[in-house]
Amino acid sequence: MVEYKVQFKVFEGPLDLLLYLVKKEEVDIYQINLTRLATQFIEYVELMKELDLDLAGEFLVMAATLMLIKSRELLPRDLQAPVGPEDEDLEDPRWELIRKLVEYKKFKDAAAELQALERRQELTFPRQAPRPEAPPAPGRPEVSLFDLVGALNAVLQRFQARGHASEIVEDRWTVSEKLEELRGRLSGGQRFRFAALFDGATHRAEVVVTFLALLELIRLRVALVTQTEAFGEITIEAAPPELSPPPDESHSAEPAVPPTPVAPALP
């Protein structure tokens, strides 16, 4: 059969019980009658033993100390062991006990203050700043109109070299068609070189129409045209969202594009 022991939590140690008894007396520690305190302490210890509470051995040591104090005081005063400053070695057990009690009480008070801090800290919420976003990579400079025209010129010269210049063709390409085609390529997240824009072009007029569509998309801030360095390769990509105007604006702007075919001026 397992023996049940109740852990006596209220009094953690004998000093705890002593302080409790002092408090019950409603007197300050320095006024306490140790003889009476000893009697009460021993009563409590006896009762706790009777209740079979698990009592720390220190309680019994304290009870013994109190018994000693009590027994000394049963003697007539002139028979008591002399105490006082003249015999330093002989520590008065009463003084020793009071000193311990006072010291312990101070720490107990301080522990209560720490407990208040513990509670306060539970209620304290620090500001939690989000991790700052890494600054954007140094932006590639946006391309000027002159850069674009210069690049277009290089493409057009390719067609001239192929000898298409004098050929007469009907107007098969419109800006709005090319615009939609380009928009589709960009919205797919594609990113391509300027020259690649005209890879499929079969005619000088198609190049010009595609170019005009690109200009319109730049104006609408749908396309972003950048250059890694001055006179370097021109790259076309979809503009980041913050550059896009509100949708209704871009919508109303669209009809501004002339649906009519552009007839490039042929030499």
Partner 1 sequence: MTDLKLVLEAILFASQKPLSVADLKGVLARAADQSDEPAVRALKRTKTDEIAAALAALRDEQEAGGRSYCLTCVAEAWQFVARPEFAPWLRVLAGERARPARLSPPALETLTIIAYRQPITRAEIEQIRGVSVDGVMQTLLERGLVEAVGRAEVVGRPITYGTTKAFLEYFGLASLDDLPGGDELRRIPVERPPTLLTVEPGLATVPPAQLNLPSAEPAAPDTPPAPPAAPATSDQQSP
13 binds partner 1 (CB under 8 A): yes
Determine the interface stretch with partner 1 among 109-117, 166-174, 222-230, 252-260 (rule: CB under 8 A).
109-117
Cα 7 to Cα 145: distance, rounded to the nearest angstrom: 87
Residue numbers 143-182 binding partner 1 by CB under 8 A = none
DSSP 69-111: HHHHTTS-GGGSPP-STT-SSS--HHHHHHHHHHHHHHHHHHH
C-beta of 102 vs 266, nearer to partner 1: 102
Instruction: Identify the DSSP state of 20.
Output: H
Candidate list 123, 134, 161, 265; residue touching partner 1; CB under 8 A: 123
User: Which residues fall within 8 angstroms of residue 195, CB to CB, at 6 or more apart?
Assistant: 151, 154, 155
**Spatial contact of 70 and 38, defined as CB atoms under 8 Å apart:** yes
How many residues are recorded in the chain?
267
C-beta of 110 vs 196, nearer to partner 1: 110
Closest CA to 108 of 17, 172, 42, 44: 17
DSSP 170-207: -----HHHHHHHHHHHHHTT-EEETGGGGTT--SHHHH
5 binds partner 1 (CB under 8 A): no
**Spatial contact of 93 and 69, defined as CB atoms under 8 Å apart:** yes
C-beta of 106 vs 162, nearer to partner 1: 106
Candidate list 3, 127, 139, 166; residue touching partner 1; CB under 8 A: 127
Residue 102 CA neighbour count, 13 Å, CB half: 11
C-beta of 58 vs 180, nearer to partner 1: 58
Residue numbers 71-90 binding partner 1 by CB under 8 A = 73, 77, 83-85
Determine the interface stretch with partner 1 among 128-136, 144-152, 165-173, 253-261 (rule: CB under 8 A).
128-136
Minimum gap (Å) between residue 171 Cβ and partner 1: 56
C-beta of 70 vs 185, nearer to partner 1: 70
Q: How many residues sit close enough to partner 1 to count as binding (CB under 8 A)?
A: 61
**Spatial contact of 229 and 199, defined as CB atoms under 8 Å apart:** no
Cα 237 to Cα 223: distance, rounded to the nearest angstrom: 6
Minimum gap (Å) between residue 130 Cβ and partner 1: 8
C-beta of 60 vs 149, nearer to partner 1: 60
Minimum gap (Å) between residue 14 Cβ and partner 1: 5
Give the type of residue at 3.
E
Candidate list 130, 135, 200, 255; residue touching partner 1; CB under 8 A: 130
C-beta of 77 vs 145, nearer to partner 1: 77
* Binding residues for partner 1 (CB under 8 A): 12-16, 28-36, 56, 58, 62, 69-70, 73, 77, 83-85, 92, 94-95, 97-100, 102-111, 113-132
